[in-house]
Structure 1
Amino acid sequence: MGSICTSKEVEIELPTLLRAYKDGTVERLSGTPYVPPCLEDPKTGVASKDITIREDPLIQARFHLPKLEPVNEQPEKLPILVYYHGGGFCIESAFSLVEHQYLTTLVAEGKILAVSIEYRLAPECPVPTIFDDCWEGLQWVASHSIDNGGPAVKEPWLADHGDFHRVFVAGDSAGATIAHNVLMRAGRDPIVGGMKISGAYLTHPYFWGSEPIGSEPKTDHDKELPHIVWTSLYPTAKGGIDSPMINPFVTGAPSLAGLGCGRLLVSVAEKDLLRNRGLKYCEAVKESGFKGEVELVEAEGEDHAFHIVTYEKESAQVMIKRLAAFLNKSC
């Protein structure tokens, strides 16, 4: 006799991340608590607020604006950072404590305007649709560059303070994977108003593949968490774990010369399992014929996403200052 399927039978089990049941419910096992926006952060003076990009299905964003000192009657124009949070496509949020505090610190240091996209999460939302959400978020930002057009009601922080000649895309971990896919799309599809992406940074990008590289484990490679997460959340991916979405240097993947940005910074951490992939990505971009500038930053003695989960320690502050300098570097 076959087993009886109960409503709480587990369909997806991702250790430390989530448990999804066949009845459609999802139990998230990790992630930091949500925090509300604040009109003036007591430590940095950074203001934040939440807006809705699309109602149905819902895409939101959290804005972070540094404290500005009035100099003249004209509003100060700031570099714009369109940011995608990490969390394996399935946990965390633009509204999470660690992501909020990290961006507040970065915005204060770099004096930039950050737009952190609150995309939908897997497994409730298919992984390719997450990429679409994030592309739509970028297009919505770009729509504010059009004087006669764009959204019916423009977001005043973006319209008043955004410098659309200095637009950046970035992400951490899975958010860096999203940023990569958005940049590849920007290289082939037009952005509203003809807006160009000045630069991008990918911190500790979540890339993987079927064949181990560098110091990655040679045995049971398919039992490592990066493999399990991708194949569990996107089991129908063409190429599986070697889909160009997650393995951008697999044979047959689109050329990385097509990245739609002017400059690129890739950051890796010495103790991170994903380090080798980040290093290879950086070299592959350099060798691809990409016409922009490529920089690599490696944090010695640190692990995955250290600058976000431990944003207050000295090494994290050094990393955040490095990213802020990249966003403010003259082209």
Structure 2
Amino acid sequence: MGSTNANNETVAEIPEWIRVFKDGTVERPLDFPIVPPTLNTGLSSKDITISHHPPKPISARIYLPNITNSQTKKLPIYVYFHGGGFFFESAFSKLFNDHFLKLVPQANIIVVSVEYRLAPEHPLPAAYDDCWDALKWVASHSTKDTTPNNTESWLTEHGDFNRVFIGGDSAGANIVHNILSFRVGPEPLPGDVQILGSILAHPYFYGSEPVGSEPVTGLEQNFFNLVWKLVYPSAPGGIDNPFINPLGAGAPSLAELACSRMLVCVAEKDGLRDRGVWYYEAVKKSGWKGEIQLFEEKDEDHVYHLLKPALNQDSHKADALIKLMASFLVN
């Protein structure tokens, strides 16, 4: 969290979430603490650098389940993009580290959890660019053309590049959609790696026309609209830009989503619940040839499957969703 200065003018703010000062200082009061990688029962993790290019290197935390000496079968690879509205949280925070301590041993997968640049210091499309570069870096390990930057042994020795998945929560789920629609189709991944499946948990989509039970007035002060203005102030079309509105003007056809399977998760009390269902139904009607599944949890709110374990709150529903995700990633 940045330090405050009584004489420093606030130039942008979403109360309780973020405050931006004139000198460039940014406060993010809801960030979970950063925690180190771990050697844990069931897995190992470490932090790696993907790109050294300015203005900021792209890094990640990579997780590997316990490997026995007799194990020869390669493991699915899950590239993950964290949530946080594009403006807070980290792949290295307790929130996501705790999640993968549960998921990785259950699914027996390799996870690459990407640390991308955050707004407002780095407005969109910076996060989209970083996540796409990270995915290309992972895929580059499938080829024999090695460079000093694609020699991560956990991927080359244990990764199954015929079973590559991408996933994310909230803003991270938004990134998943945009990679599948704007990136993978027009530009093949290194080694012609294909995305087998994707998980979109409580995806952050929105638009000017209300969906379901969304309010019909007050869009200008709507939280999701305020976030979008903060993270992508120059977005053509504003809240109907196709990056945030998958059915907005100029959006690619959902029929061309570049994966074979998709799991969309929503929560009954989440303000983004109706958008997630709307997206699921739009994909089903689009003519897309893949298999799509919708999972909804009753009486739960946004990213409960992350928050409750990280806050040490007992939640069998969180455990159930993590189990479902694990099953999706291995079947």
TM-score range for the pair, normalised by the shorter chain length: over 0.9
Whether 1:66 and 2:65 are equivalent positions in the alignment is yes
Distance in 1 between residues matched to 2:112 and 2:161, nearest whole Å: 13
Q: Which amino acid aligns with 2:317?
A: S
Show structure 1 runs of 4+ deviating over 4 A. 150-153
Give runs of aligned pairs for residues 189-208 of structure 1, distance below 5 A. Answer: 189-208=187-206
Offset, 1:78:
0.5
Residue by residue over 1:181-221, the C-alpha shift from the partner in whole angstroms, topping out at 9 and shown as x without a partner, is: 11111122111111100010100000111111111122213
How many residue pairs get aligned? The number is 319
Give runs of aligned pairs for residues 78-157 of structure 1, distance below 5 A. Answer: 78-152=75-149, 154-157=151-154
Distance in 2 between residues matched to 1:45 and 1:294, nearest whole Å: 30
Give runs of aligned pairs for residues 1-331 of structure 1, distance below 5 A. Answer: 8-38=8-38, 40-41=39-40, 44-56=41-53, 57-71=56-70, 74=72, 76-152=73-149, 154-184=151-181, 185-311=183-309, 313-329=315-331
Distance in 2 between residues matched to 1:23 and 1:70, nearest whole Å: 54
Distance in 2 between residues matched to 1:261 and 1:45, nearest whole Å: 29
Point out where structure 2 has 5 or more consecutive residues left out of the alignment. 1-5
Distance in 1 between residues matched to 2:8 and 2:238, nearest whole Å: 27
Q: Which moved more, 1:210-219 or 1:240-249?
A: 210-219
Secondary structure, aligned partner of 1:16: coil
Offset, 1:260:
1.0
Q: Which amino acid aligns with 2:166?
A: V
CA RMSD in angstroms, aligned pairs only: 1.4
Secondary structure, aligned partner of 2:275: helix
Residue by residue over 1:28-56, the C-alpha shift from the partner in whole angstroms, topping out at 9 and shown as x without a partner, is: 12110000001x22xx4211100000123
Offset, 1:253:
1.8
| 8 Å Cα contact 1:210/1:222 also seen in 2 | no
Offset, 1:153:
5.2
Query: TM-score, length-normalised on structure 1?
Result: 0.93
| 8 Å Cα contact 1:200/1:264 also seen in 2 | yes
Secondary structure, aligned partner of 1:83: strand
Query: TM-score, length-normalised on structure 2?
Result: 0.93
Q: Which amino acid aligns with 1:192?
A: P
Distance in 1 between residues matched to 2:231 and 2:123, nearest whole Å: 8
Distance in 1 between residues matched to 2:149 and 2:219, nearest whole Å: 50
Point out where structure 1 has 5 or more consecutive residues left out of the alignment. 1-5
Distance in 2 between residues matched to 1:320 and 1:83, nearest whole Å: 14
Secondary structure, aligned partner of 1:236: coil
Q: Which moved more, 1:7-16 or 1:28-37?
A: 7-16
Q: Which amino acid aligns with 1:199?
A: G
| 8 Å Cα contact 1:84/1:171 also seen in 2 | yes
| 8 Å Cα contact 1:80/1:162 also seen in 2 | yes
Offset, 1:27:
1.2
Offset, 1:250:
2.1
Distance in 1 between residues matched to 2:177 and 2:69, nearest whole Å: 36
Offset, 1:283:
0.7
Distance in 2 between residues matched to 1:233 and 1:126, nearest whole Å: 5
| 8 Å Cα contact 1:144/1:151 also seen in 2 | no
| 8 Å Cα contact 2:60/2:114 also seen in 1 | yes
Secondary structure, aligned partner of 1:267: strand
Distance in 1 between residues matched to 2:119 and 2:78, nearest whole Å: 24
